[in-house]
Amino acid sequence: MLTGGRTRPVQDGLRIETQLLALPAALSAPLRFESRRIVELCQRPMSLADLSAALAAPLGVVRVIVGDLLTDDYLRIEEQPDQLSVSLIERIRDRVRAL
């Protein structure tokens, strides 16, 4: 219901460690429910895994909603390193366990 029945995001390549940041105009956009909450949480960079844990929603659902927000220019992807640090991997692991 949250994704309109879609199981795949329109934005491909979203990894669980992808850092997202809301664009300034997003807070005044007519968004509802989880989309609004994602924009609020992404006022500072936040990973897809952190969003999933904060919303208590499955990662696949959050991926679809985030893909829509990226397409509509409410979020942007922060630059990502080619390799992940050990601390980031541990943080992701902990967040996924929290789900």
Tens of each residue's pLDDT in the chain, 99 residues: 555 555 565 666 788 888 999 998 888 888 888 899 999 999 999 999 999 999 999 988 899 999 999 999 999 998 766 676 788 788 878 888 887
DSSP letters spanning 56-87 = T--HHHHHHHHHHHHHTTSEEEPP--SS--HH
Q: What is the DSSP letter of 3?
A: T
Greatest pairwise CA separation for the chain in angstroms: 38
Q: Are 21 and 45 in contact (CB under 8 A)?
A: yes
φ, ψ of residue 44 to 5 degrees: the values are: -125, 155
The torsion defined by the Cα of 3, 39, 22 and 87, in degrees rounded to 10, comes to -90
Q: What is the pTM of this model?
A: 0.73
